[in-house]
Amino acid sequence: MTIAIYPGSFDPVTNGHINLIERAARVFDHVVVAVAMNSQKQGLFAVEERLDLLHAVTGGIAGVEVDSFEGLLVDYVRRRGARVVIRGLRAVSDFEYEFQMAHMNHKLYPELETVFMVTGADEFYISSQLVKEVARLGGCVDGLVPPAVRDALSAKFRGARGT
C-alpha cells in the first residue's frame, strides 16, 4: 500500500487544497493530510479547528485521513511508514522553494520522494493568505473555500469585528 503525506498549514483549507487531495486520492492508496503545528506561527485557526474543518471537507473522499504533526516532516513521514510527500505548485514562483525543500527532505530521508502536483486551472490563484485577507475585509469567498470553511471564516471575522 502506497501512503502519501500531504503536509501544510491549511489555515484555512481552500478549494485548491481539496482539488489536490481528491486527485492524490486517485493516485495513491492512502493520503494523509497532515496539519503542521508550528509554535513560531500564530494561525487564524487553531490546529484543532483546522483538523475539524479538514475532517468536514474530506470526509467523503475515500482513502483520505486527517492528522497533525510537530517537528520535522521527515520524522513524521517515517513514523507513518510513508515514502511519498505531495506538494502542490500553483505557479512557477512556488517551485524554487518547494524544490529546495524536496532536496533537503531527501537529504534527511533518502528513501523519501516528493511528488509535485500542479494545482487545477480553476484554483491556481487561490492561497490561504489571500482567502483570509478577502474574508477579513468582508469580501465573498464563495468558490474559493468549501462552505464549512466560508462559515468558519465568517464567524471568526464577525467575532473580531464585534458584530
pLDDT at 163: 46
Region 33-45: what's the mean pLDDT?
89
The SS3 assignment for 21 reads helix
- pTM for this entry: 0.94
Judge whether 23 counts as a catalytic residue: no
pLDDT at 160: 57
Judge whether 107 counts as a catalytic residue: no
Residue from 78, 80, 83, 90 carrying the catalytic annotation: 90
pLDDT at 94: 85
Query: pLDDT-based confidence at 159, cuts 50/70/90?
Result: low
Q: Which of 5, 9, 137, 125 is nearest to 75 (CA)?
A: 5
**Domain range for 140:** 3-161
CATH number at residue 105: 3.40.50.620
Residue from 9, 30, 50, 128 carrying the catalytic annotation: 128
Region 118-127: what's the mean pLDDT?
89
The SS3 assignment for 24 reads helix
User: Does residue 72 have a pLDDT over 60?
Assistant: yes
Region 82-102: what's the mean pLDDT?
92
Judge whether 90 counts as a catalytic residue: yes
Region 128-137: what's the mean pLDDT?
95
pLDDT at 41: 77
Query: pLDDT-based confidence at 121, cuts 50/70/90?
Result: confident
pLDDT at 132: 96
User: Does residue 48 have a pLDDT over 70?
Assistant: yes
User: Does residue 125 have a pLDDT over 80?
Assistant: yes
Q: What is the mean pLDDT of the chain?
A: 94
Judge whether 128 counts as a catalytic residue: yes
User: Does residue 98 have a pLDDT over 80?
Assistant: yes
Q: What is the C-alpha to C-alpha distance for residues 124 and 17, in angstroms, rounded to an integer?
A: 10
Domain total in the chain: 1
| Dihedral class, residue 162 (left if φ above 0, else alpha if ψ from -120 to 50, else beta) | left
